[in-house]
A and B are shown apart, each in its own frame.
Chain A
C-alpha cells in the first residue's frame, strides 16, 4: 500500500523538476496528500482529489496528478486546480491563493459521468448472465500519434498535451502523425 510519505516525495520531486513548489500551508498540503492517497487506493491511480473521477483509467487520465491542466493553471493563477503545486510568489505568500476555475472541458467531465453509468449497465448485464455481447463496449476514444514540432517528442493519445513535457512548447506546436499504408501488389 502506498504511503503518504511516498506520495509527498513523488510530488516534491515533480515540483523540483518543473520549478514549482508544494502548497506552503502544512494542513492544506496534508489534506491534499491524503486525498491523493485515497484516490490511489480506490482507483489504482492518484487522480486529482478535487475532481470527480470515473474510476476508468482512460477517462481519468487527464486528471491524474500532475494533471494535464497544471502547467496552464500555475502559469495563469499561480496554483494548480487543487492547490498542490504553486508558483514561487504564492509559495512566498506574496500572492494569495484563490480558488482556481475549472478548465477541464465539460465534455470530458460528462463522459466520466456517462462512463460510470455504462459500467453499471455492463455489470448488470453480466450479473443477469447475459451472453457476452461485443467486447467493443470500450470508451469511444480515438487515439492518435502526435509529435512536438519543437523537440520531436511523440505521444499516443486522444488529444495532444497542453504543454510538451519535454520542451514546454504549447499545444499548438503539436501535429498529428498520419500513417498511410499502401499495399502494392
Chain B
C-alpha cells in the first residue's frame, strides 16, 4: 500500500487519511492539514490494488465508518467521514 507521509510540526496525533486521487474534498482536507502544520499519512484508495482496497474497506466498516472519502482516522480511535472542519478542529484541538 502506497502510504504517503506528509511532515508537519504538530505530531500530537496520529492522523491517517483514506482519500481518492481525483476527489476535490480530499484535496481540500490535505491542504487543510498542511496549512495547520499537522503531520499525517494518506493513501489514495483508487490507486491501490484490489487486495488493498478490500483491506481498507474492512477497516473503515469495522470502525463503523462509511465507504466515503475522505475518511480520517485519528489516533486509531476517532473516525471522521468527509471534510468536516468543525470535527477536525475539535479532535485535533486546533
Partner of A113, one of B22, B25, B54, B82: B54
Interface of A is mostly: helix
Nearest CB of A to B23, in Å:
4
* Contact present for A35 and B68 (CB under 8 Å): no
When distances are taken between beta carbons in the complex, the residues of chain B under 8 Å from A28 are 24
Nearest CB of B to A33, in Å:
10
When distances are taken between beta carbons in the complex, the residues of chain B under 8 Å from A110 are 57, 67
Q: Does B66 contact A (CB under 8 A)?
A: yes
Query: In which size bucket is the chain B interface?
Result: 20 to 34
When distances are taken between beta carbons in the complex, the residues of chain B under 8 Å from A116 are 50, 53
When distances are taken between beta carbons in the complex, the residues of chain B under 8 Å from A13 are none
When distances are taken between beta carbons in the complex, the residues of chain A under 8 Å from B3 are none
Q: Does B15 contact A (CB under 8 A)?
A: no
Q: Does A99 contact B (CB under 8 A)?
A: yes
Nearest CB of B to A4, in Å:
13
Nearest CB of A to B45, in Å:
6
Nearest CB of A to B5, in Å:
22
Q: Does B69 contact A (CB under 8 A)?
A: yes
A 31-70 binary contact with B (CB < 8 Å = 1; else 0):
1101110110000000001111100000000000000000
Given contacts A52-B20, A99-B82, 5 further A-B contacts (CB under 8 A): A35-B24, A50-B69, A51-B69, A53-B46, A110-B67
**Interface on B for A, CB 8 Å cutoff?**
20-27, 45-46, 50, 53-54, 57, 66-69, 81-84
**Interface on A for B, CB 8 Å cutoff?**
28, 31-32, 34-36, 38-39, 49-53, 82-83, 99, 101-102, 106, 109-110, 113, 116-117, 119-120
